[in-house]
Structure 1
Amino acid sequence: MINKLKRIPAFFREVNDELKKVNWSSRQELISAAWLVVIVSVILTVYIFAVDIGMSNLIQLILK
């Protein structure tokens, strides 16, 4: 148990060292990516809504 407790600080040092190696995106890249996600989500939402309404109307026509 004591051996595991001694390894905890080493673990966090290694995590910190690895985080320093990460190539973080710039603020502008993050904003651009976020807008892309929003735009694609809106487009897909509208598409799925249109298909849903179309299929609903088609099924109603078939059942009449």
Structure 2
Amino acid sequence: MKDKVVKYIKETVVELKKVTWPSKQELIGSTIVTIFVSLVLAIFIFLVDQGLSNLMALVLS
């Protein structure tokens, strides 16, 4: 069991060394885009929800 764990960790380290990690600028840029898109989507969902709520209130009254 111990041998399998050690082998797994060694293989994981080897694979992590093969990864091309993003630069700091790429990471910051991707983070900004992700936050912006999330905010736009949240605002859109909020507006649709408010519109449907108002429509349901109008229909049910």
TM-score relative to the length of structure 1: 0.80
The sequence identity of aligned pairs, in percent, is 41
Number of aligned residues: 61
Correspondence for 1:55: 52
Larger-gyration structure (1/2): 1
The runs of 5 or more residues in structure 1 that have no matched partner are none
Root-mean-square deviation (Å): 1.4
> Aligned pair in 2 of structure 1 residues 10, 61: CA closer, same or farther (>3 Å)?
closer
> Aligned pair in 2 of structure 1 residues 23, 59: CA closer, same or farther (>3 Å)?
same
The runs of 5 or more residues in structure 2 that have no matched partner are none
Q: Residues 20-44 of structure 1: CA distance to partner in whole angstroms, max 9, x if unpaired? A: 1111111111111111110001001
Find 2:40's aligned residue among 43, 53, 61.
Answer: 43
After superposition, residues 21-32 of structure 1 pair within 5 angstroms as 21-32=18-29
Correspondence for 1:19: 16
